[in-house]
């Protein structure tokens, strides 16, 4: 059973929004919830918002990547936090922890976190997080593969879905739980515990990795630590490198 479409009803939306402490904008289809939430955040300095969609036609992933999703298969949402609770990169990393904490009570265990903010399950990516900051707010966008039977050929090798891993998850329940967990990590007092949880669930730490960053040649080394600002510390033959942006591929 999936109840996300109930948000199309304004009465349900407003009751649910009151429960979550945010005003909710629901779209059956939109280009990108992230673009819309950023637009709202720029134009409206009022309370917290949540933009959610049943389909995105131009979803963004990290970097220049797009985020592919078929209709009604994914949880696609963007939340605005004002003031910004952390630097965008750190908040996106902690959002990965929020997703794992939201899924745990819904019966999904064995979740792993790949630096910086990918959530993995049974050898495939099921969720990704993206944050955009401005002077007085941050917009966090999360996409979770929920009901897909097959993934698009471009991502089929590395991605999976909750359904493919044997979990039937109601996107409305997941939305509520992720929102609560984001509210937890939005409190800086909870950052140390969330970072500890990230390190515990990491599938990147203690592994050989290849790092690709714009403007420099790819390099390899061992991921030895996660710094408190979210940087990945990689031990190379030439010393330690702090990776703040870029792609990390786990080698074997």
60 lies in the binding site for ligand BTN (CB under 6 A): yes
Residue 217, number of CB atoms within 10 A of its CB: 7
Q: Which stretch binds ligand BTN (CB under 6 A): 17-25, 139-147, 153-161, 200-208?
A: 139-147
Among 14, 22, 59, CA closest to 154:
59
Question: Judged by CB, which is closer to ligand BTN: 22, or 60?
Answer: 60
**From the CB of 116, what's the least distance to ligand BTN, in Å?**
9
Contact 169, 106 (CB under 8 A): yes
Question: Judged by CB, which is closer to ligand BTN: 75, or 226?
Answer: 75
Buried b (16+ CB within 10 A) or exposed e, 118-155: bbbbeebbbbbbbbbbeeebbbbbbbbbbbbeebeeeb
Question: Judged by CB, which is closer to ligand BTN: 134, or 222?
Answer: 134
**From the CB of 49, what's the least distance to ligand BTN, in Å?**
13
SS3 at position 216:
coil
115 lies in the binding site for ligand BTN (CB under 6 A): no
**From the CB of 50, what's the least distance to ligand BTN, in Å?**
11
Residue 216: C-alpha distances to residues 3, 62, 207, 212 (Å): 46, 18, 21, 8
Binding ligand BTN (rule: CB under 6 A), the pick from 5, 61, 88, 133 is 61
118 lies in the binding site for ligand BTN (CB under 6 A): yes
């Amino acid at each position: 059973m999936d109840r996300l479409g109930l948000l199309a009803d304004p009465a349900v939306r407003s009751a649910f929004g009151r429960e979550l402490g945010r005003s909710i904008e629901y779209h059956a289809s939109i280009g990108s919830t992230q673009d819309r939430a950023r637009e709202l955040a720029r134009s409206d300095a009022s309370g917290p918002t949540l933009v959610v969609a049943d389909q995105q036609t131009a979803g963004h992933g990290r970097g220049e990547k797009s985020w592919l999703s078929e209709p009604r298969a994914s949880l696609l949402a963007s939340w605005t936090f004002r003031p910004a609770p952390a630097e965008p990169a750190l908040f996106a990393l902690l959002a990965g922890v929020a997703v794992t904490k939201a899924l745990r009570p819904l019966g999904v265990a064995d979740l792993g976190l790949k630096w910086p903010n990918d959530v993995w399950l049974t050898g495939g990516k099921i969720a990704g997080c993206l944050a955009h900051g401005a002077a007085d707010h941050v917009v966090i966008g999360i996409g979770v593969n929920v009901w897909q039977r097959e993934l698009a050929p471009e991502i089929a090798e590395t991605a999976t879905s909750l359904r493919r891993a044997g979990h039937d998850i109601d996107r409305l329940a997941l939305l509520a739980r992720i929102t609560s967990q984001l509210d937890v990590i939005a409190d800086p007092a909870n950052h140390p515990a969330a970072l500890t949880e990230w390190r515990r669930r990491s599938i990147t730490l203690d592994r050989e990795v290849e790092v690709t960053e714009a403007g420099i040649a790819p390099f390899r080394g061992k991921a030895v630590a996660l710094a408190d600002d979210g940087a990945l510390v990689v031990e190379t033959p030439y010393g330690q490198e702090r990776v703040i942006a870029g792609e990390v591929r786990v080698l074997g």
